[in-house]
Chain A
Amino acid sequence: MEPFKQVEGRAYPFGRKNVDTDVIIPAEFLKTISREGLGEGAFKVVRAEEGNVFDDPEYTGAPILIAGDNFGCGSSREHAAWALDDMGVRVVIAPSFSDIFSSNAFKNGILTVELPQEAIDRLMEVAATDPITVDLDNQVVTTPFQDRLEFPIDPFRKSCLLAGLDEIGLTLESSDAISAYEQKITADKPWLKPEISA
Chain B
Amino acid sequence: MAVLTINNRFGANGGRLASTTPRFSLSRFGGRWLSPLALLLLWEAGSRIGLIPERTLAAPSAVLGTLVEMVMSGELPSNLLVSFARVAAGLLIGVGLGLALGLVAGLSRAGELAVDPLMQIKRTIPALALTPLFIVWFGIGETPKVALIAFGTIFPVYLNLYSGIRGVDLRLLDAAKSFGLSRWEQVWHVVLPSALPSLLVGLRYALSVSILVLVVAEQINASAGLGYLINNARDFMRTDIIVVCLMVYAILGLGADWLVRTIEARALIWRPSIVEL
Q: Do A and B bind each other?
A: no
Interface of A with B (CB < 8 Å)? none
Interface of B with A (CB < 8 Å)? none
